[in-house]
Structure 1
Amino acid sequence: MIHSTNPYTGEKIYSFQPLTAEEVSEKIAHSNEVFKDWKQTTFQERAKLMMNAADVLEKRKKEYGKVISEEMGKPIGQSISEIEKCAWVCKFYAKNAANFLASEEIKTDAEESFVSYEPLGVLLAVMPWNFPFWQVFRFAAPGLMAGNAAVLKHASSVMQSANNIQKVFEEAGFPKGLFQNLVIGSDKVEAIIENEIIKAVTLTGSEPAGSSVAGLAAKKIKKAVLELGGNNAFIVLDDADLEKAVEVGVNARYQNTGQSCIAAKRLLLQEGIAEEYLEKYIDKVKQLKSGDPLVSDTYIGVLASEKLAKDLEKQVNESVKMGAKILVGGKRDKAYFEPTVITNISEEMPVFKEETFGPVIAVQTFKDLDEAIEISNNSKFGLGVSLFTEDIEMAKKVAPRFNEGAVFVNEMVKSDPRLPFGGVKSSGFGRELSSFGIKEFTNIKTVYIK
């Protein structure tokens, strides 16, 4: 059986009978049959249903948000916001998919030549638990609008949320079988990728999971898009608006109890403002309310499992043994981990070189911008970086020096349907969202007429 366990109470709350290999194959075959008709629909027809999906999400946001909080411990207000963001991405692609995928005329020596964007077929999405709805919808909304079908292998710990996502599309009026949640464990993924019906794979998750899935897809010459881990730096220069940088910096690290690939995990402070900034920052951290994820004013819930909290505890303890100093927090109680600030960091410590997936931030100081960029780039990850400064022209000039998928100036790194999202280095490849994301899973076809 597959179980969902409430990490706050330790109670098993949902149980699911896994599909057999034969049942999985039947569902994939069904998706393929539905796809054959779906790809013939117009963008207008698809958009109407996608707007319906947005309406369902908004209507049921409290219901679905509660399940998210129960399954993985996200504070309820943040869970509801996640559902609202999914409605946004549905509306965005309903309104823009036709323009994004319109044929593009290219002038050549031909009488007529153009590029068209055609759906690939049935796509496999392998998704994580930390944003159970958003990670799926930022793939599914563009994928379905492009004319594809999709099957989902979600994290076993959030299987009720996965079932709810399927219900959203069915209630919105999409053909049954166009989007299907597969109630399976990770051991079934290889066979699904090998299935000839599956045309491409997208994964959001850990570096090992991404490497495994991409390798399996490559063996079958199938495209993969990977959104993996991050170790984002949050850089504050001495000319920054400190009040704003503190407020944004705390949210950038501690929202979703720190369980985000794009969270600010390394806080880099210019020496001239380091002491003042850190004093203000720690004061804000101490004010964060921890508690029951289902209570409306809780900001810090629990990690998604006790194992994750123990892993984080190990990273912190090993770093302390190497000389790091805990300024606030550092203690664990089952799946709960205190909001933590650590300083006296060296670049060999786990809290610097590894991804810390929880409410822990490592603090370093730097003399000048060149040193800050060097420290920021000293990571195997490359998902995003935040730079706080009042010198916008300077920020534009140095943006290309960051080896990242995104540079955010005076703001935390975040995903936005209007902007491409993805990383470089060990943070993965390919892009989600915007016009770039919807084209990832299309056949970009050249048509030449002479």
Structure 2
Amino acid sequence: MAIASTNPATGETVKTFEPLTDEQIEEKIQRAADTFRQWRRTGFEERKEKMLRAAEILEDEAEELGRIATLEMGKTYASAVAEVQKCARGCRFYAENAERFLADERIEDLQQDGATAYVRYEPLGPTLEIMPWNFPYWQVFRHAAPGLMAGNVALLKHASNVPQVALAIEDVFLRAGFPEGAFQTLLIGSDKVKAIIEDERIRAATLTGSEPAGRMVAAQAGENIKPTVLELGGSDPFIVMPSADFEKAVETAVASRTLNNGQSCVNAKRIIVHEEIADEFTRRLVEKMEALKVGDPMDEATEIGPLSTPDGVEEVADQVRRSVEAGAKLLTGGERPEGPGNFYPPTVLAEIPEDAPARYEEIFGPVASVYRVSSVDEAIELANDSPFGLSSSVWTADEGERERFVEEIEAGMVYVNKMTESTPEVPFGGAKNSGYGRELSRFGIQEFTNAKMVWVQDA
């Protein structure tokens, strides 16, 4: 079955690709293994030079690369260009900091009696990247850049609806001077992943995607005693207390929930508002959601583009419908527009009962769920009443409330008076069913290294 690049704004199939054969997959895995034996011996300066060149290419060609992402998965053109530029920033960050992050760490308590003890970080080998379509460049580069700087090589199994992006990323690394086997794209279906993970030449795997996919990859890797990093779904709480900057909180709630057309794991999916301000907050939220312009993602005036696939928009519509049938109140949106494309309107749900899909499922589209609470205790209880624990955003000027949220919210990240952000300088990852391990910062580059303990005693 061909891998297709389909424009989600029109439904038009732009280009098709034949999946790799088993023989071609074998060739690429062997090339990765051969390249790793040489690449791991390169110095940080050589790796840095190539990574900085990759950053330059991304910056110089951000508009064309962004256009490909918009064409394939529907994000607005402005956000696609910004995503490519962010990848350049990530490349520069690891080019400049990898050597420091991976420097030998002396164990000072053991530097005595003729002993020297330290930890050395060494690359593991070829890693399999299983990446999603929603941030088709950034999700890849935030693993590939640290991995390559650490001395690993990578094989990318990208989402099947963004093949042109996947090939473009490989091309960037090749033109930056990386060896042919350092980063390779595999145009394959999900049915080929298990055999690749089982291959003894593949030493680790990372996946960003759904919880079911994460469970399968973790099980397959675990059976073969290989480390994994999983960044899975989220149903992030966005908590607003009476002391918050009201207007900024409303604006950020809308921006967060509609980021990437609502297709982000760390969107403000559950907006939890104290009852003192809930009525006015909800009114303003609905007002701002209704004012958003939905349309052609290439039009610079568009704020919400189409969802990535027909199946995606059908799932969102079904989740909203079932939530309303369960008793949730539809405040705006909820009706798919006529015409071509995978469009879904900005939607707000309120008074959501416990058995509604909006309560526990991740809705991957521009749908905000609003909840009223009467106290900090109730806000924390509701925030934690989810199988997910990726990130959270809390809005309060009260220091005591702030400390309680930081201490008690069950999530990999807590942002106070700020929208959750994925940026090279800080670690990114979740808790509970949102996965494990960390990407970005020094944690991200150390994840796929062997922390080798070395103890040298004088003869």
Q: CA RMSD in A?
A: 1.0
Worse-matched range after superposition: 273-282 or 151-160: 273-282
Q: Which residue of 2 aligns with 1:435?
A: 442
Q: Which residue of 1 aligns with 2:31?
A: 30
Provide the rounded CA distance (Å) in 2 between the counterparts of 1:73 and 1:207: 23
Q: Which residue of 2 aligns with 1:62?
A: 63
Q: Which residue of 2 aligns with 1:352?
A: 359
Provide the rounded CA distance (Å) in 2 between the counterparts of 1:41 and 1:397: 47
| 1:160-179 equivalent positions in 2, closer than 5 A | 160-179=164-183
Please report how far the alpha carbon of residue 14 of structure 1 lies from its aligned counterpart in structure 2 after TM superposition: 1.6
| 1:21-100 equivalent positions in 2, closer than 5 A | 21-100=22-101
Answering whether residue 309 of structure 2 is matched by residue 309 of structure 1, we say: no
Provide the rounded CA distance (Å) in 2 between the counterparts of 1:332 and 1:4: 23
Q: Which residue of 2 aligns with 1:11?
A: 12
Deviation string, structure 1 residues 112-159 (Cα, Å, up to 9, x no partner): 010000000100000011110010000001000000000000001001
SS at match of 2:162: helix
Q: Which residue of 1 aligns with 2:234?
A: 230
Worse-matched range after superposition: 282-291 or 76-85: 282-291
Please report how far the alpha carbon of residue 349 of structure 1 lies from its aligned counterpart in structure 2 after TM superposition: 0.9
Please report how far the alpha carbon of residue 398 of structure 1 lies from its aligned counterpart in structure 2 after TM superposition: 3.3
SS at match of 1:239: coil
SS at match of 1:413: coil
| 1:91-240 equivalent positions in 2, closer than 5 A | 91-107=92-108, 108=110, 111-240=115-244
TM-score in terms of structure 1 length: 0.99
8 Å CA contact 1:239–1:389 kept in 2: the answer is yes
8 Å CA contact 2:394–2:405 kept in 1: the answer is no
Q: Which residue of 1 aligns with 2:370?
A: 363
| Percent of aligned pairs sharing the same letter | 50
Please report how far the alpha carbon of residue 397 of structure 1 lies from its aligned counterpart in structure 2 after TM superposition: 4.1
Count of aligned residue pairs for this structure pair? 450
The amino acid of 1:106's aligned partner reads I
8 Å CA contact 1:306–1:336 kept in 2: the answer is no
TM-score in terms of structure 2 length: 0.97
8 Å CA contact 1:325–1:342 kept in 2: the answer is yes
Please report how far the alpha carbon of residue 285 of structure 1 lies from its aligned counterpart in structure 2 after TM superposition: 1.1
Worse-matched range after superposition: 142-151 or 277-286: 277-286
Q: Which runs of 5+ in 2 are unaligned?
A: none
Provide the rounded CA distance (Å) in 2 between the counterparts of 1:325 and 1:387: 24
Worse-matched range after superposition: 387-396 or 48-57: 387-396
8 Å CA contact 1:86–1:138 kept in 2: the answer is yes
Q: Which residue of 1 aligns with 2:431?
A: 424
Provide the rounded CA distance (Å) in 1 between the counterparts of 2:103 and 2:149: 12
Structure 1 residue runs of 4 or more that deviate by more than 6 Å after TM superposition = none
Q: Which residue of 1 aligns with 2:252?
A: 248
8 Å CA contact 1:419–1:433 kept in 2: the answer is yes
Provide the rounded CA distance (Å) in 2 between the counterparts of 1:190 and 1:274: 48
Please report how far the alpha carbon of residue 393 of structure 1 lies from its aligned counterpart in structure 2 after TM superposition: 5.1
8 Å CA contact 1:232–1:263 kept in 2: the answer is yes
Q: Which runs of 5+ in 1 are unaligned?
A: none
SS at match of 1:404: coil
